[in-house]
Chain A
Amino acid sequence: MIHFLKQSMAKFREPQRQSFLGPLETSVMEILWERGESNVREVVERFDRRLAYTTVMTTLDRLFKKGLLDRTKVDRSFIYSPKLSRKQWEQKRAGELVAGFLRGPEPFRELLLSCFLDVVGGHDPMLLDELERKIRARRRDLLRRRES
């Protein structure tokens, strides 16, 4: 039961966890966005403060597991490169943030939002076609009246 609950919670939090970066992770990403491909030592050298090699290696590994970095093995070390550009990453994060907040059983009540349209998904396309037909007919009607 506890295992099931943990799994459910993990599924629910997955996108948020992916898009959330700690301060060290953010700094590492900044270096990689600026420098491009780098190995662990090169990232360590770019830091203003002294950091242990293993700390940076663990952080890079964590970012790789989060799906933010690609890595290729050259000789005996990994070369890391960002999967997304900074702009793409920011867009992805913003999208996940907006979608993440709107997820849940009653998101609009929990969020105190007045949405232009309550449902942002799940409208029947045929019904929308029908409504569009009505709008077009009404527009024609208004134009005709204005002309006459």
Chain B
Amino acid sequence: MNLPYFLRLVCLCLASFFLLHTALGLATWQVAPAAIRLAEKMRARAAARFVFFLRLLPVMLATILVLGLGVPSYVWLEPPGMHERMGFACGAAALLGAALWSISIGRVMHAALRSGRYARECKRIGREISTESSLVPANLLDVETPLIALAGIFRARVLISRKVMDELTRGELEAALRHENAHRVARDNLKRFVFLLAPGIFPVMRGFGGLERAWARFSEWAADDQATGGDSRLSLLLAAALVRVARMGAAPQPSMAVTPLIAGDLGLPARVDRLLRGETAPPAPLWSRTALVGTLAVLASALIVGAMHWATVLRAAHEALERLLS
């Protein structure tokens, strides 16, 4: 198939993105269990950040390589205005790359629209309330469903159902709201949005479920840590609130489906035990600062080396693209 200059560039970008992303995704998938074990030794917020970074690494690296090397090498070294033949393999990879992005964009648009509608409806049927600490904007929903959640990506607000409001004690409610506020401050809903946008390994297989579940667990722990700040009284109140909310949902409710991934009691006992053992006191953030400085140093070195050999790197990238095209 003969393609003009610009269309060839688009196909090459998609094909090279697919190949790079798949290779990096499979590598990440392989190291994920070990990485999660390593993260379990860190404090919760650092672990959540680490797992978040690892989940996004394939898509970030593939995008940087395609946009930072592939496109400049093509623009610089490919003679414009001529048609060139594209091979079947390249076409198939480009199609798969397009499918990856289409599915991700479709998924994220569906989630954003659904969430937007949900938040609007909840705001309409709910009543704005001022909470004891006024930490976070909250809406009270006059429903029997045991719900307490943070909704919204940028202007997040807490949704509390009447049932939760009535049954939690003042202290427990305060602790629960501090927990939701910690999610708001950490922008966890935005991170969920980014997860949905980041493509899976293949169009029909996401392959990063383990990392995403680990991130969800660590982000809950981190929010618990942030909410209690090492205070044993607050930890106790938060643990009591968790069990009480779980108890509300324990009655059979045919209209409420249980999410298979998290069904059972895997998350709750661990969270309660952490809170009761007082493991939530935040240690000095020395490790994460060292890790950040180390990562920045590695990136800066890579950039300097790349800049010194820029022409050679671009020629090599162009050669790889030519091979991919044929």
Residues of A near B145 (CB, < 8 A) are 95, 98-99, 102, 120
A98 touches B247 (CB 8 A): no
Does A3 belong to the interface (CB within 8 Å)?
Answer: no
A142 touches B125 (CB 8 A): no
A138 to B, closest residue via Cβ = B276
Tally the A-B contacts, defined by beta carbons under 8 Å.
180
B191–chain A nearest beta-carbon distance, Å: 9
B233–chain A nearest beta-carbon distance, Å: 7
Contacting residue for A111 out of B114, B216, B260, B269, CB 8 A: B114
Does B118 belong to the interface (CB within 8 Å)?
Answer: yes
Contacting residue for A122 out of B115, B193, B263, CB 8 A: B263
Compute how far the CA of A59 lies from the CA of B17 in the bound complex, rounded to whole angstroms.
56
Compute how far the CA of A138 lies from the CA of B222 in the bound complex, rounded to whole angstroms.
22
A109–chain B nearest beta-carbon distance, Å: 7
Does B180 belong to the interface (CB within 8 Å)?
Answer: yes
B239 touches A135 (CB 8 A): yes
Compute how far the CA of A134 lies from the CA of B146 in the bound complex, rounded to whole angstroms.
23
B125 touches A123 (CB 8 A): no
B233 to A, closest residue via Cβ = A142
A120 to B, closest residue via Cβ = B249
Interface SS of A by simple majority: helix
B189 touches A114 (CB 8 A): yes
Count contacts on B: residues with CB < 8 A to the other chain.
Answer: 72
B263–chain A nearest beta-carbon distance, Å: 5
Contacting residue for A116 out of B148, B232, B262, CB 8 A: B148
A131 touches B121 (CB 8 A): no
B215–chain A nearest beta-carbon distance, Å: 12
Does B268 belong to the interface (CB within 8 Å)?
Answer: yes
Does B149 belong to the interface (CB within 8 Å)?
Answer: yes
Residues of B near A94 (CB, < 8 A) are 125-126, 141-143
Contacting residue for B146 out of A15, A104, A120, CB 8 A: A120
A138 touches B196 (CB 8 A): no
A111 touches B115 (CB 8 A): yes
B265 touches A124 (CB 8 A): yes
A106 touches B259 (CB 8 A): yes
Does B176 belong to the interface (CB within 8 Å)?
Answer: yes
Chain B residues 241-282 with CB under 8 Å of chain A are 241-243, 245-253, 255-265, 267-269, 272-273, 276
Chain B residues 212-243 with CB under 8 Å of chain A are 216, 219-220, 223, 232-233, 236, 239-243
Most buried by B among A98, A99, A124, A125: A98
Against B, the Cβ 8 Å flags (1 = close, 0 = not) of A95-126 are 11111111111111111111111111111110
A117 touches B188 (CB 8 A): no
Compute how far the CA of A90 lies from the CA of B141 in the bound complex, rounded to whole angstroms.
11
Does B47 belong to the interface (CB within 8 Å)?
Answer: no
Compute how far the CA of A110 lies from the CA of B109 in the bound complex, rounded to whole angstroms.
10
B245–chain A nearest beta-carbon distance, Å: 5
Contacting residue for B180 out of A97, A109, A116, A139, CB 8 A: A116
Compute how far the CA of A103 lies from the CA of B183 in the bound complex, rounded to whole angstroms.
23
Most buried by A among B149, B192, B241, B252: B149
Does B45 belong to the interface (CB within 8 Å)?
Answer: no
Residues of B near A115 (CB, < 8 A) are 147-150
B253 to A, closest residue via Cβ = A121
Does B112 belong to the interface (CB within 8 Å)?
Answer: yes
Residues of A near B258 (CB, < 8 A) are 119, 121-122
Chain B residues 158-203 with CB under 8 Å of chain A are 161, 176, 179-180, 183, 188-189, 192-193, 195-196
B256 touches A99 (CB 8 A): yes
Known: A102-B256, A103-B257, A131-B272. A97 touches B125 (CB 8 A): yes
A106 touches B261 (CB 8 A): yes
Known: A123-B247, A128-B246. A118 touches B216 (CB 8 A): yes
Does A91 belong to the interface (CB within 8 Å)?
Answer: yes
Compute how far the CA of A117 lies from the CA of B150 in the bound complex, rounded to whole angstroms.
11
Q: What are 9 A-B contacts with C-beta separation under 8 Å?
A: A94-B125, A101-B114, A103-B255, A110-B115, A113-B189, A114-B188, A114-B192, A116-B149, A131-B269
Contacts A91-B143, A113-B189, A134-B272 aside, 13 further interface pairs with beta carbons under 8 A come to A91-B144, A94-B141, A95-B144, A103-B255, A111-B111, A112-B196, A114-B150, A116-B179, A117-B249, A119-B263, A123-B265, A131-B269, A142-B233
Sort A-B residue pairs by CB-CB distance and give the 7 closest, nearest first: A120-B249, A114-B183, A95-B143, A116-B148, A114-B150, A122-B258, A99-B255
